[in-house]
Amino acid sequence: MTAALAASALESALSYGRRPQVRARWMSTLRRLIALPTVSGSPALERAGALLAHELTAIGMQKCRIIRSGPYAPPSVWAERRDVPGAPCLLLYAHFDVQPPGSQPWQRMPFSADVVGGRVRGRGASDNKGPLVCLLAGLESHLATAGRLPVNVRIWLEGEEERGSPHLAPFLDRYGSLLKADAIALSDSSRVGGEDRPTLVTGLRGMLDIGLTVGGPSHELHSGAFGGEILDPGMVLSHLISSLWSVHGRVTVAGFYDAVRKPRPDERLQNAAVGERFQAFAESAGVPISGLQGERGWPPGTRSTLRPSLTVVGMSAGQTGSSAVAAIPTSATARINIRLVADQQPDEIACRLHDHFRRAAPRGARFRMKVLARAHPVLTEPGQSFVGPLHRALTRTWGRSPLVIRNGGTIPVVAELHRRFGMPAAMWGLSGPDDRIHASGESIAVRDLHRGAEVVTRLLQEAAP
């Protein structure tokens, strides 16, 4: 296709996607999707999978199937369309499962899917149902105008990302051949450049989720009769956890930083929260600026993207509350979440962590460490497939070049596809700073949904041979 024909095809697709009736129809689809409470284990996952399969078929995707790794695994939705023999193939990914509503109150029902004040509100609106619908809208814009896609496309909509994709390995063993592509493209991140600047994501941190249990007496013991006589599992657990961290913000596990790849100077500059971003970073965390503390020598913004981290996300020992029994508990547990950067390996870090606990534990203490989940870090090198087309698509949609950063989060699917098949990732942030992802009151701006659909429409054309 000549440049003039390609430009004309793109303009036709964009014009179609901007039609009020088209936007209204996709808004209706998004609201129906948000209204389904697709938390882990919910029957709504099946209904959402059926809805998405219907939408993919309706817009013209081919071979649409609902697939799963086993009889009790949640559904995924897969489809493809190959209109350009010999052209690259792009895997478009999103997930339709969501976090639970949480314990904090909502002003509106979590799954009401109301549209108020230019925002669509409800759990999953921003993470990841809004961006998911943008993928479908971008595909339809080409299929409804040209009857074909500019590049070959496979699409995978997952139903268990928020659980850490526990069935990912058997799923890829069974369906890996259906997912292979020249790159994976997705928007499952937030923008950090403010309202009028897009974000291109070049990396994701890996993850190691650890359960740590310290054993105590065979039954609860009166704290007056036995306090000071035996090892208290809560105190031992506290000691083990405190031994992981220094006052300088560094993880004290031997060899923890040995494999960490040194970031380039431009990466440090791009990821640092400076100027207005510094204040916005603190506000988004709900802390004063003085509360932004971490590894010495690394400014806010870089510590959660370019550096590894260790966080205690849960602890318990015995009973709590006003009616608690004054007894030494039989065990104490903690959940520790470690984020990794290139080139750290989850299994190696797990071994180092176990060795650290063994050395730090008091004599006679008993502990058990279990790896609950793991994912490798991902780093997209400059010049990899589809990064250039994505940069152009973001720039032309927003009218400004994107902020190019790494993201501190983890998406196991991206990491495993990269590790198994060498698939690079083209990732962008669509969610805005006010979307409250994973918190009560989650929402997404209608304007961002429109821009998200246009990014996908442009990306498909920009990636055409």
Residue 272 lies in a domain: no
- pLDDT over threshold 60, residue 322: no
For residue 288, is it within any domain?
no
**191 and 258 belong to one structural domain:** no
Output the pLDDT for position 371.
Answer: 95
Q: Which of 358, 374, 390 is the last residue of a domain?
A: 374
Give the pLDDT band (50/70/90) at residue 154.
Answer: very high
Answer whether 120's CB lies under 8 Å from 34's CB.
yes
Structure-token pair, residue 98: 């969501």
For 16-36, what is each residue's pLDDT tens digit?
Answer: 999 999 999 999 999 999 999
Radius of gyration of the chain (CA): 24
Residue 217 has pLDDT above 80, yes or no: yes
Confidence band, pLDDT 50/70/90 cuts, at residue 194: low
Assign 1 a pLDDT band (cuts: 50, 70, 90): low
Question: Apex CA 75: angle with CA 70 and CA 78, to 5°?
Answer: 105
**So what's the pLDDT on residue 20?**
98
pLDDT given at position 97: 97
Structure tokens at 347: 């299994």
- Give the per-residue pLDDT at 381: 78
Same domain, 201 and 211: no
Query: Is position 113 within any domain?
Result: yes
Query: Is residue 257 included in any domain, yes or no?
Result: yes
Q: Clarify whether residues 78 and 154 are in a common domain.
A: yes
Provide the mean pLDDT of the chain: 92
| Nearest by Cα to 447 from 273, 201, 191 | 191
Beta carbons of 206 and 346 less than 8 angstroms apart = yes
Tokens of 274: 């400076």
Residue in 188, 80, 210, 177 with CA at minimum distance from that of residue 412: 188
Q: How high is the pLDDT of residue 31? A: 98
Whether the per-residue pLDDT at 323 is higher than 80: the answer is no
CA 342 to chain centre: 17
What per-residue confidence (pLDDT) applies to 229?
Answer: 87
Q: What is the pLDDT averaged over residues 42-57?
A: 98
Asked if 41 and 133 sit in the same domain, the reply is yes
- Of the ranges 79-83, 245-249, 399-403, which is most confident? 79-83
Token pair 């964009």 in the structure block, residue: 14
Q: Are 127 and 188 in contact (CB under 8 A)?
A: yes
Output the 3-class SS for the chain: CCHHHHHHHHHHHHHHHCCHHHHHHHHHHHHHHHCCCCCCCCCHHHHHHHHHHHHHHHHCCEEEEEECCCCCCCCEEEEEECCCCCCCEEEEEEECCCCCCCCCCCCCCCCCCCEECCEEECCCHHHHHHHHHHHHHHHHHHHHHCCCCCCEEEEEEECCHHHCCCCHHHHHHHHHHHHCCCEEEEEEEECCCCCCCCEEEEEECEEEEEEEEEECCCCCEEHHHHCCCCCCHHHHHHHHHHCCECCCCCECCCCCCCCCCCCCHHHHHHHCCCCHHHHHHHHHHCCCHHHCCCCCCCCCCCCCCCCCEEEEEEEEECCCCCCCCCEECCEEEEEEEEEECCCCCHHHHHHHHHHHHHHHCCCCCEEEEEEEEEECCEECCCCCCCHHHHHHHHHHHHCCCCEEEEECCCCHHHHHHHHHHCCCEEEEEEECCCCCCCCCCCEEEHHHHHHHHHHHHHHHHHCCC
156-183: average pLDDT: 94
Q: Does residue 137 sit within a domain?
A: yes
The number of beta carbons lying within 10 Å of the beta carbon of residue 436 is 19
Q: Based on the structure, what is the number of domains in the chain?
A: 2
Please write the tens of the pLDDT for every residue from 353-370: 999 999 999 999 999 999
Distance CA 150, CA 163 (A): 34
Query: Quick one: what percent of the chain has pLDDT higher than 70?
Result: 97
Do 368 and 400 lie in one domain? The reply is no
Whether residue 236 sits in one domain with residue 189: no
Asked whether residue 139 falls in the same domain as residue 44, the answer is yes
CATH no. for residue 238?
A: 3.30.70.360
| pLDDT over 70 at 324, yes or no | no
For residues 176 and 255, state if they share a domain.
no
Give how far Cα 443 sits from Cα of 48, 115, 198, 433, 434, Å: 19, 9, 18, 10, 8
Distance CA 78, CA 64 (A): 6
pLDDT value at residue 354: 98
Amino acid, res. 83: D
Domain membership of residue 112 (yes or no) is yes
Strand 403-407 relative to strand 199-204: parallel, antiparallel, unpaired? Answer: parallel
Residue 280 has what pLDDT? Answer: 75
CATH value at residue 401: 3.40.630.10
Is 200 in the same domain as 233?
A: no
Q: Over range 49-58, report the average pLDDT.
A: 98
Distance (Å) of CA 223 to CA 217, 228, 443: 12, 8, 48
List the domain range (segments joined by +) for residue 161: 3-205+377-462
Confidence of residue 175 (pLDDT cuts 50, 70, 90): very high
Question: Which carries the bigger pLDDT value, residue 324 or residue 328?
Answer: 328
**Joined tokens for residue 361:** 């534990």
Amino acid letter, residue 403: L
- Name the one residue in this structure whose structure tokens are 């817009």: 59
Other beta carbons within 10 angstroms of residue 4's beta carbon come to: 8
Kind of pairing between the strands at 76-81 and 62-67: antiparallel
Same domain, 185 and 311: no
Does one domain contain both 22 and 157?
yes
**Based on the domain organization, do 163 and 250 belong to the same domain?**
no
Q: What is the pLDDT of residue 65?
A: 97
Nearest partner of 307 among 359, 248, 262, judged by Cα: 262
CB 308 within 8 A of CB 338: yes
Instruction: Say what the pLDDT of residue 6 is.
Output: 83
| Short-list 384, 393, 300, 417, CA closest to 13 | 393
Q: How far apart are CA 275 and CA 283, in angstroms?
A: 13
In a domain, 281, yes or no: no
Q: Is there a domain that residue 351 lies in? A: yes
Q: What is the pLDDT of residues 67-114, one digit of tens each?
A: 999 998 999 999 999 999 999 999 999 999 999 998 889 998 999 999
